[in-house]
Amino acid sequence: MSKVGGVIPFKAKPGQGGEVARLISSALPHVEREPGTLTWLVLRSDADPDLVFLVDLFADDESRTVHMHGEAAKQIFATVPPLLAEPPSVHPATVAAAKG
């Protein structure tokens, strides 16, 4: 399993969580063309429906860099910010433990 990941929490304005999740999810066709992006998840919180997480795993650091400058990222950051309560923060991450 890859140890190179990333997490981006998106805090939507009240009532906008569904639309934020939809807009982020619409970038999936771009991600599917990125061989170095191994896992790409859009998670909408059950505890706070206006909180959406984007979680990814990459083949290596270079794949993460390519993804963060790719078409999916461009699309997300061009469409989602007007619906957010605060700017998103990008968290490059290293997997500490995993199953699967």
Q: Which domains does the chain have, with CATH numbers?
A: 4-94 (3.30.70.100)
Residue 1: pLDDT above 90?
A: no
What percent of the chain lies above the pLDDT cut of 70? 100
**8 Å CB contact between 52 and 24:** yes
As given in the structure block, the two tokens for residue 55 are 């979680």
Burial 29-54 (b: 16+ CB within 10 A, else e): ebbeebebbbebebebeeeebbbbeb
The SS3 of residue 17 is helix
Residue 75: pLDDT above 80?
A: yes
Element (H, E) at 18: helix 17-25
pLDDT recorded at residue 87:
97
pTM of the model: 0.95
| Residue with the two structure tokens 């061009």 | 78
61: exposed, middle or buried (Cβ count in 10 Å: 0-12, 13-18, 19+): exposed
pLDDT recorded at residue 32:
98
User: 17-21, 45-49, 50-54, 96-100: which range is least confident on average?
Assistant: 96-100
